[in-house]
């Protein structure tokens, strides 16, 4: 497939755009982008989705975020159809997704939303019901699903992402190990726990790294800058000082939940500081600094 200059440039620079948003996962991003480039250039297997990925690794390290970002970048906003496998366990819920049991091999009309192109995201794949896995297999194999009303849906223009926390307990016990050791062991766990025919059809399985302190700092810094910019739009001029990030990490980074709670923590810390400043007669402008107790932030002069 021949690309225009714009498209070529966008595909070439995709890694740097993704790395600017998703921190500490450069290795994963490089591998994923290779497959995305193949997908966009039409270099994928014919009659299959453009690429299919298995994203493994701990909670809150960017698996869903990367899916949202690459889809928004390559295809457009709101083109991720997200199916949380833990929500499709009962016959009633399965019926909504897959149609009724007397129509084997046919999915419900819910998939009709999947016209055009986008990414189908199957979250927590290790919890998927066997009937969902049958449909997934069909999807990975032939990029086609038939609905109860006999409509054939074509997914050959779609990406498929499966995410899983398989190996989570192992990652927790391997805190000090090298990334390569963790990667090898988690991939082994996944191969053992997932159906081999699914594993065999995935284009790429990757293990996201735990976020080290540098990555946490970069994320905290970005969240603080974003919140300050949002408050700037409302007329408050807040200038964050460097140590603010460490308070956000201390309050928002969680060994088990990763960076997931950091956004809320940054927002709450900054708004609390601003509210205190306003309630004490300030105008909401000033430097954002850690409070001497190290647990909250202040707006105003530096505490010496």
State how far the Cα of 168 lies from the Cα of 174, in Å rounded to an integer.
10
- Closest to ligand ATP by CB, 145 vs 248, is 248
Quote the DSSP letter at residue 61: S
Determine, following the binding rule CB under 6 A, whether residue 60 of this chain makes contact with ligand ATP. yes
Asked whether the beta carbons of 164 and 125 are under 8 A apart, the reply is yes
Helix (H) or strand (E) holding 108: none
24 binds, among ligand ATP, Mg ion, none (CB under 5 to 8 A by kind): ligand ATP
Question: Of the two residues 7 and 64, which places its CB atom closer to ligand ATP in the complex?
Answer: 64
Q: Which residues contact 25 (CB under 8 A, 6 or more apart)?
A: 19, 61, 62, 66, 208, 209
Does 224 bind ligand ATP (CB under 6 A)? Our answer is: no
Told to check if 59 binds Mg ion by CB under 5 A, we report: no
Partner whose footprint covers residue 203, from ligand ATP, Mg ion, none (CB < 5 to 8 Å by kind) = none
Q: Which of 52, 69, 165, 245 binds ligand ATP (CB under 6 A)?
A: 165
Q: Does residue number 245 form part of the binding site for ligand ATP (CB under 6 A)?
A: no
Instruction: Determine which residue in the list 26, 65, 134, 285 makes contact with ligand ATP, applying CB under 6 A.
Output: 65
Contact 1, 11 (CB under 8 A): no
Q: Which of 144, 195, 263, 291 binds ligand ATP (CB under 6 A)?
A: 263
Length of the chain: 304
The residue count for binding ligand ATP (CB under 6 A) is 19
Alpha-carbon distances of 112 from 107, 108, 116, 146, 174, rounded to whole Å: 9, 8, 10, 10, 43
Q: Residue 219, interface with ligand ATP (CB under 6 A)?
A: yes
The C-alpha atoms of residue 80 and residue 159 are separated, in whole angstroms, by 9
55 or 155: CB nearest ligand ATP: 55
Examine residue 31 and tell whether it contacts ligand ATP (CB under 6 A). Answer: no
Binding site for Mg ion (CB under 5 A): 63-64
């Amino acid at each position: 497939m021949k690309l225009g200059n714009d498209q070529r440039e966008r595909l070439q620079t995709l890694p740097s755009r993704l790395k600017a948003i998703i921190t500490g996962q450069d290795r994963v991003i490089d591998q994923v982008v290779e497959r995305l480039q193949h997908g966009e250039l039409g270099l994928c297997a014919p009659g299959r989705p453009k690429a299919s990925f298995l994203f493994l690794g701990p909670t809150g390290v960017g698996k869903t975020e990367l899916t949202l970002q690459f889809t928004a970048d390559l295809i457009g906003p709101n083109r991720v159809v997200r199916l949380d496998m833990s929500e499709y366990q009962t016959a009633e819920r399965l019926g909504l997704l897959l149609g009724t049991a007397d129509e084997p091999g046919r999915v419900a009309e819910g998939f009709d939303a999947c016209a055009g192109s986008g990414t189908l995201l199957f979250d927590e794949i290790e919890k998927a019901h066997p009937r969902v896995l049958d449909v997934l297999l069909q999807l990975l194999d032939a990029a086609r699903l038939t609905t109860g009303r006999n409509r054939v849906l074509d997914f050959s223009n779609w990406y498929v992402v499966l995410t899983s926390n398989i190996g989570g307990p192992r990652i927790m016990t391997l805190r000090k190990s090298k990334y390569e050791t963790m990667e090898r062991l988690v991939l082994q766990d996944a191969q053992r726990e997932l159906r081999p025919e699914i594993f065999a059809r995935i284009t790429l399985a990757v293990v996201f790294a735990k976020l080290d302190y540098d990555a946490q700092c970069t994320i905290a810094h970005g969240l603080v800058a974003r919140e300050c910019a949002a408050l700037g739009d409302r007329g408050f001029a807040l200038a964050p000082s460097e140590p603010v990030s460490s308070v956000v990490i201390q309050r928002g980074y969680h060994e088990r939940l990763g960076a997931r709670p950091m956004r809320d923590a940054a927002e709450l810390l900054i708004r609390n500081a601003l509210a205190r400043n306003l309630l004490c007669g300030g105008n909401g402008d000033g430097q954002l600094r850690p409070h001497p107790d190290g647990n909250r932030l202040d707006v105003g002069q530096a505490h010496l």
